[in-house]
A and B are shown apart, each in its own frame.
Chain A
Amino acid sequence: MGVLVLVKIGWRNLWRNRRGTMLTSLALGLGLALLLISLGLLDGSHEQMVANGVRFGNGHVVIQARGYQETGSQELLLPAGVVSATEAFLNTGAMKRVSRGMSPRLMASGLMSSAVNADGVRIMGVIPNDERAVSLIPERIVAGDYLGDDQQLGVVIGADLARKLGVKVGAKVVLMTQAVQPPGPEAMVAGGGEMQSALLRVSGIFRTGIQAIDAHVIQVPLPEAQALLGAPGRVTQVAILLQGEGDALMVAQGLRKRLTGAPVEILPWRESMPALAQLLVLDDAFNYVMNGVVLAMVGMGILNTILMRVIERRYEFGLCLALGQRPAQLAIMIVGESLALTAISLALGLVLGLSVQHYFATAGLDLRWFFRSSLPSALVFDPIIYSRLSLMRIVSSGGIVFLAATVISFYPAFKAARTKLPDALKVF
């Protein structure tokens, strides 16, 4: 007897109890729908976290002086020529297509004080136009303007810092820091190691929603920072933003080849921002566990339905065996029935899941219902999550559900095949 005939019989058997079949299909379909919705929001939130994280952080790829990632020492500066070499590299054919921009930055720690208060700050000396292409800070100005090329004495600060210092746009602040003493033969520049200060005017205030940035990060024009730190023409890092994070490794490898021999470290974002990378891994793991629990519960439902049907049809199986059907053929019939049930469930689940996922992909899920204050600094978060579900995710999720249902059907199939004659034929 052909497998198709057995599957046909299995399919027809499903509809002997329409209500039971539809209820079970809905249960499994709902499980798949929840899986798809959850994965879509997970992938979407991760995509946003990475997109925001790299734009609030070091970009998709960062070039720093060797050792900077570990020590964060403001003494460690990139060798001269690295910025121009990087720019030349990113302007080559293939790299031009994948890169969106690069921003050289001079980083240091300092103290900012106003008439009212003072606080420790993280100084970023930037080229405004370059920084606009890479960072999100210029887009989060809530008062005043971002830095301009003509604002040599301007500074943009975070909203939390502005509140603490009691300053508004146009206010004067004093920035104090220690001039750098770079190691090696470039040591002992004028004022190296001594405290330096500058009087700046607040040109803009930004709010990112990330407390660590809003309370401590300030941006000044790069020449001003270089003058303050006694590091003319030098930068700490070059942050590179790409079209997509999938190209980070490729670009990093290309840059390593291009800058062979230079005392630099070239890090894709997973290495320069390990906390973010680990957060995503943890989030993934948690989601997979939760989805596994949901699938297990739904699987139990399927097992219960198929097993009940096998037990109810014991006489029928006895009849088939009495007529000469082989136990293996009975088992195939049961597996076929289960697969047919799974196919219906998958169809329902896909329709339901993809519909809801489409809504979240376009309108988004607004988490501001749950978060009332600034988001924790450990997270890089956009409050509205847009679902992103790849074809691979859909196929793999459906595949997992299908495989699980197939495996689950083996026990009832085995039980059917083990029907004992002549006991199964006893009706009365």
Chain B
Amino acid sequence: MELKEVKKTYRSGPIEVPALRGVSIRVAAGEFLAIAGSSGSGKTTLLNIIGGLDRADSGEVLVEGKNLQLLSSGDLARLRLQRLGFVFQAYNLLPVLTALENAEFTLLLQGVPVARRKERVQKLFSEIGLAGLEDRRPGELSGGQQQRVAVARAMVTEPALILADEPTANLDSGTATALLKVMEQLNRAHGTTFVYATHDPQVMERARRLIRLHDGQIASDVAHAAPAP
């Protein structure tokens, strides 16, 4: 994934708010990358643009060689479904579906047959400690369990890239650490690239590469040593 001089400005009547002021990043396959910054630094905007949920005003956004700026809405939706995974800060799951149904939702959208869907989801659930919770509705799961289901849903389509926008923001530190360990484990086992936004220092430490944003610009881009599993 590569961004070249990406700029984004939000306009509300006469008021203009620059969210990104020329951001350039290159992310290799298999990276475990955190984007840090205070509120308003442009983290969410950056993730939205990488994920095709929003369009940059200028610059290039390349995901697996495709320039997202040139794709139609339909093509972006297909890209998100087939090559990207998303984990949001909260309310990740559809409340009327069970944990299993939520996790297989993207496979349903892809038209994968039921037997194959169940097999993949069950395997992931076992891998990330959700076995036995398949039939529970989100309201019957803890915050950490819900986020794990969201991670399972993001993983189940075997995407190239998973984008997580402050996935641990609503979790206590212990649960947050456990979730990050799951993400790391999946990153190592499957080689899936993880890019997640955070403003939590504890969470930042676990990233193998940390990009800091400040006022819509990259303030630093540092590689870390891998933390203890």
Give the B-binding residues of A (Cβ under 8 A): 1, 5, 9, 12-13, 15-16, 315-316, 319-326, 329, 421-422, 425, 427
Query: Is A324 within 8 A of B82, CB to CB?
Result: yes
Interface residues of B, count at CB 8 A = 27
Which residues of chain B are near A16, meaning CB under 8 Å?
95-96
Select from chain B the residue with minimum beta-carbon distance to A329. Answer: B109
Task: Say yes or no: is B105 at the interface (Cβ < 8 Å to chain A).
Answer: yes
Which residues of chain B are near A422, meaning CB under 8 Å?
44, 48, 53-54
In the complex, per-residue mask of B63-100: 1 if CB is within 8 Å of any chain A CB, else 0? 00000000000100110111000101111101111000
- Of the candidates B44, B48, B81, B94, the one whose C-beta lies within 8 Å of that of A324 is B81
Query: Is B108 within 8 A of A1, CB to CB?
Result: yes
Query: Is B109 within 8 A of A324, CB to CB?
Result: yes
Task: Say yes or no: is B106 at the interface (Cβ < 8 Å to chain A).
Answer: yes
Which residues of chain B are near A9, meaning CB under 8 Å?
94, 96-97
- Of the candidates B53, B81, B96, the one whose C-beta lies within 8 Å of that of A425 is B53
Interface residues of B in 99-123 (CB under 8 A from A): 105-106, 108-109, 111
Task: Say yes or no: is B144 at the interface (Cβ < 8 Å to chain A).
Answer: no
- Of the candidates A13, A323, A427, the one whose C-beta lies within 8 Å of that of B86 is A323
- Within the assembled complex, what's the spacing in Å between the Cα atoms of A5 and B86? 22
Task: Say yes or no: is B167 at the interface (Cβ < 8 Å to chain A).
Answer: no
Interface residues of B in 11-61 (CB under 8 A from A): 44, 48, 51, 53-54
Query: Is B80 within 8 A of A323, CB to CB?
Result: yes
Closest 7 CB pairs of A and B: A324-B81, A12-B96, A422-B53, A324-B80, A422-B48, A421-B53, A422-B54
Select from chain B the residue with minimum beta-carbon distance to A320. Answer: B94
The answer to whether A427 and B91 touch (CB under 8 A), given A324-B78, A324-B81, A325-B109, is: yes
Measured between C-beta atoms, what is the minimum distance from B137 to chain A in Å?
10
- Within the assembled complex, what's the spacing in Å between the Cα atoms of A323 and B54? 14
Give the A-binding residues of B (Cβ under 8 A): 44, 48, 51, 53-54, 74, 77-78, 80-82, 86, 88-92, 94-97, 105-106, 108-109, 111, 153
**Interchain residue pairs with CB less than 8 A apart (20):** A1-B108, A1-B111, A5-B108, A9-B97, A12-B96, A16-B95, A316-B91, A316-B94, A322-B51, A323-B80, A323-B81, A323-B106, A324-B77, A324-B80, A324-B82, A326-B74, A421-B53, A422-B53, A422-B54, A425-B88
- Of the candidates B44, B95, B96, B105, the one whose C-beta lies within 8 Å of that of A323 is B105
Which residues of chain A are near B153, meaning CB under 8 Å?
323
- Within the assembled complex, what's the spacing in Å between the Cα atoms of A421 and B80? 13
Select from chain A the residue with minimum beta-carbon distance to B137. Answer: A12
Which residues of chain A are near B106, meaning CB under 8 Å?
323-324
Query: Is B80 within 8 A of A322, CB to CB?
Result: yes
Select from chain A the residue with minimum beta-carbon distance to B47. Answer: A422
Measured between C-beta atoms, what is the minimum distance from A358 to chain B in Å?
37
- Within the assembled complex, what's the spacing in Å between the Cα atoms of A316 and B53? 15
Which residues of chain A are near B92, meaning CB under 8 Å?
319
- Within the assembled complex, what's the spacing in Å between the Cα atoms of A43 and B26? 77
- Within the assembled complex, what's the spacing in Å between the Cα atoms of A329 and B108? 12
- Within the assembled complex, what's the spacing in Å between the Cα atoms of A321 and B106? 11
Which residues of chain A are near B96, meaning CB under 8 Å?
9, 12-13, 15-16
Which residues of chain B are near A323, meaning CB under 8 Å?
80-81, 86, 105-106, 109, 153
Among A1, A322, A427, chain B packs the most CB atoms within 10 A around the CB of: A322
Select from chain B the residue with minimum beta-carbon distance to A13. Answer: B96
Measured between C-beta atoms, what is the minimum distance from A110 to chain B in Å?
81
Measured between C-beta atoms, what is the minimum distance from B120 to chain A in Å?
16
Which residues of chain B are near A316, meaning CB under 8 Å?
91, 94-95
Query: Is A421 within 8 A of B54, CB to CB?
Result: yes
Query: Is A319 within 8 A of B108, CB to CB?
Result: no
Measured between C-beta atoms, what is the minimum distance from A314 to chain B in Å?
11
Which residues of chain B are near A13, meaning CB under 8 Å?
96
Among B53, B78, B86, chain A packs the most CB atoms within 10 A around the CB of: B53
Which residues of chain A are near B97, meaning CB under 8 Å?
9, 12
